[in-house]
Amino acid sequence: MPDSQDIQSLKTLFEQELFENIVPFWETHSPDRKHEGYYNCLDREGRVFDTTKHVWLQGRQAWMFSKLYNQHQAKPEWLEIARIGINFLRNHAIRPDKRLYFSLTEKGKPVWIQRKIFSECFYIIALAEFSRAADELHLMKEAEEQFEIVWNWSKDLSQLGRPVLEGQIPSRSLAIPMILLNVIEELTSGTPAGYEQEIKECIRQILLHVHADKQTVFETVGMDGQFLDTMEGRLLNPGHAIEAGWFLHRWAAILNDDGLQQTAISMIRWSHEHGWDHKHGGLFYFLDYKGHSPIQLEWFMKLWWPHNEAMIAHLINYSVTGEQMDWDLFKQVQEYSFRHFHDNKNGGWFGYLNRKGEVTHSFKGGPYKGFFHVPRSLWTCFKLFKKIGN
């Protein structure tokens, strides 16, 4: 079991990694102070290799700098970086129908829109956290109004232009309820008042994906939670399942729900066991529940974000259980992550490795990787170390 010195050493490591490596890299290279918003396609050294601005990452980065401003240190430069992201999103990303584009040009012209709700979700959390940082209450109202619209869309995705075809098997995706549950936490600062029914419904839907008899969390299930013996139904996404587990942990604590807490613990442990590569280390990206070859060509790759989420999840498990098993799983992921994703030379973290843990893509930021999973993981774990140490 870790002693107080182990905890203190790790707390220092995570603090230094966040504030001496990750934050300075993105603080230096990402903000576009001419056109506002952020460059998120950054090469190994931080140079911009594409000026396209991806709305997921604009929202996430504005949220992360606002969060650090609110909870760590009220540095004016962090608030200003958050502000240029919020300004860019409000001025360019929103359509008259309240949908948000997925990507924009450097100056904010639309490039692409998805038939999904995630650009909107990350915009909501950015508005909410920035409204607290800047004390601009009208932005919280905007966030709440946008959430109401997104909640309505989530119940019928055909409203986003996604057709319902005759041969489709009715199914549910884990991504939607887990992200909405996290958005509610950010909107409310973890207080359920006003969103009790939405929280209850998100949790209900997430639990449909948890099959205790199979000790498995499925990415896609039937409308009533039934197992679907199809390529989509057998798909396992260990990182997603682990992330959903720690989201449930947060609400189990808020709601004082011991049963939900135990489910969260199991989800994280099962998903790690399914996903860990016992030959080369690291978490697989995708797997097939029955052991068929996954159809995703990148299934065997080791991506940054599942490891970031796993560090949080296992450390929360340990903070609750105090069991050696959970600590060992945390250390397994932590040591792999710092050894393979961390760039000693140029700062920042790589995002994509092959099965053996070798870097396949040298960029530090791309269409899906920005200033979010790595700093959120380091920040959350840093806070957990303080809690455990006390």
Cβ atoms of 40 and 31 within 8 Å: the answer is no
Tell me the pairing of strands 53-54 and 48-50: unpaired
Helix (H) or strand (E) holding 356: none
Give the pLDDT of residue 40: 97
Same-fold call for 27-159+351-364 versus 171-340: yes
Locate 57 and state its tokens. Answer: 């990452």
Task: Using the Cα atoms of residue 206, residue 147, residue 366 and residue 66 in order, give the sign of their dihedral.
Answer: negative
Which residue's entry shows tokens 């594409």?
Answer: 50
Indicate whether this model's pTM tops 0.85: yes
Give the pLDDT of residue 1: 85
Task: Assign domain 171-340 to its CATH architecture.
Answer: Alpha/alpha barrel (1.50)
**Ranges of each domain in the chain:** 27-159+351-364, 171-340
SS3 content of the chain, % helix, strand, coil (to 5): 55, 10, 35
pLDDT band at 270; cut points 50, 70, 90: very high
Q: Which CATH class is domain 27-159+351-364?
A: mainly alpha
Give the pLDDT of residue 389: 86
Burial class (CB in 10 A: 0-12, 13-18, 19+), 29: buried
Mean pLDDT value across residues 1-11 = 94
| CA nearest to 133, candidates 209, 65, 32, 224 | 65
Cβ atoms of 296 and 286 within 8 Å: the answer is yes
Cβ atoms of 273 and 245 within 8 Å: the answer is no
Mean pLDDT value across residues 294-317 = 98
